[in-house]
Structure 1
Amino acid sequence: MIQAVVFDLDGVLIDTEPVWEEVRRGLVAESGGTWLPDAQTRLMGMSTGEWSRYLAEDLGVGGTPEEVAAEVLRRMAARYETALPLIPGAVEAVRRIGAEYRLAVASSSARVLIDHVLAAAGITALFETTVSTEEVPRGKPAPDAYLTAASRLGLAPERCAAVEDSSNGLRSASAAGLAVVAIPQPAYPPAGDALMLADSLLTSLAELTPELIASLRD
């Protein structure tokens, strides 16, 4: 039986993929680099170290990956201070699931952004643990973040469910052995092969219920 639910952050609880794209694309343009057609798809799920290196070396931003990461995170934090783009029903869904299941986060966002979002939404205390891909060897689609979340909960991955939206996130959770709930964002639809890894496909957080989680591996 499922005993815990591990939420992704970007694209599941907050609608920040457009913000990430705007901030990174803007930095690439300002630096005289080239934004490649598949850049956003490739970036989704990368750890901070991975995406900052990609921007610095492959997209032509220049500077060290550490400098690129610091600038992007500074701009993201500033945007969050202006407006936190919570997805409708996000807080309600977390509280609804948390009433019956243990909760964790496994996110590609930097630690500082994860903590800021959860605190601003007033839901920090609902999560037993949160994992940033900064803290594991590999970002999504590798399973590291989800394996670490399950380990910190003291559970086998098979006793956990993941809530994801992106191709790399779905691949990561599936590779780790979690049951997978997909709630795709229409603007950034996951690849068909990644979507096939999901145990359940929902159209919104309103459909995410304890009964749905219980049905995944009953």
Structure 2
Amino acid sequence: MFTGLIEETGKIIDITKKTASIEITIRGKKVIEKAQIGDSIAVNGVCLTVTKLKGSDFTADVMFETIERSGLKRAKAGDIVNLEKSLTLTTFLGGHLVMGDVDCEAKILSITDKGIAKVYEFQLDENYRNNMKYIVEKGRVTIDGASLTVIDVNDEAGIFSVSLIPHTIENITVGMKKTGDFVNIETDLFGKYVEKILKFDSSENEEKNLKKSNLTMEFLQKNGF
């Protein structure tokens, strides 16, 4: 689990592409301090497990599901990435609870100056537009591992916006990107739990109503329903 507050940016040193996975080696400084094999480090918001350590470099394996949903499928040696080590019970939680499980990618549609800030407009991948239900105005969304506040949403078009101050732009990879580039998106976990609970409550109520009316699935099927 993470906070969405980027500790540093690192560089991809090497990528080995296999049949259904990737082995990736990244160079960092802060996230490597006191790191051990088996620790979790978020790379552009993707939770990866350290499998090797050497100096300031760490290596991790990326499975097929993660490759499909995230921008790591386009990653190459030399790319700069956001890094955050998993939180502890004493970590200052300045962002929000981030799992490091990327839902999908989004494309940068526009970057607009607004006072000292820049407004970034994103559109979710068409195959994952259902995730818009978890993105709400003034709520939190994780973009390439950074916890950011949503300022505007267009559910039908799958579009949302965030506003970044100069300090944020200078310290995360989104500030290095341009219109047309892609970013990793993780939506708020709590919305997913609420949806699941409501779904089960709805199913249970429907079942109770059927019992009260003496209707059964067997009766409906026999009578052509």
TM-score normalised by length of structure 2: 0.31
More helix by proportion, 1 or 2? Answer: 1
Q: Which has the larger radius of gyration?
A: 2
TM-score normalised by length of structure 1: 0.31
More strand by proportion, 1 or 2? Answer: 2
